[in-house]
Amino acid sequence: MTSTLSISPLDWTPAVSKVEASAAALPWSEMNLRSCFEADYQNFGIWSQDARELYAFILVHQPLADEWTIMNIAVAPQAQRQGYAEALVRHVLAKAARQPAKVFLEVRSSNNAARKLYQKVGFQEIGLRKNYYPTLSDTKEDAIVMLWHKPTEI
């Protein structure tokens, strides 16, 4: 891709719903997405500056200065497998490290690619939420709870 890309703070835009709908089998509703643009959130997006197209976003809830939760990450299909999700996660972790803050997330137990990415950037699996996520087949899928915290300096 020859476009210049940048990570920037993200305010609500219908493009968020568009990316979510194109990236997720069971996308969040616009109402749920909009709720992540209220107080206690820091959200970031990767935009193509020349095309003005949102390629990816990350929504981060910060109820406490030292405890954050990655609520959602989505990458548009045409932008997948280009490192955008990893770039967004690393961006958030760099900010968290300066606080310092612990960062939590939940991921579908079947989402091996995401779990591998999160482990690559330093998350550890710390728990399981049984039957947490809905599925297309009216069953439920477990969520893996993961935690990242700034490595201790020696």
Cα of 129 vs its chain's centroid, Å? 18
SS3 21: helix
- Strand (E) or helix (H) holding 32: helix 30-35
Q: Which of 28, 51, 32 is nearest to 134 (CA)?
A: 28
Catalytic residues: 106, 118
How far, rounded to the nearest angstrom, does the alpha carbon of residue 115 sit from its chain's CA centroid? 12
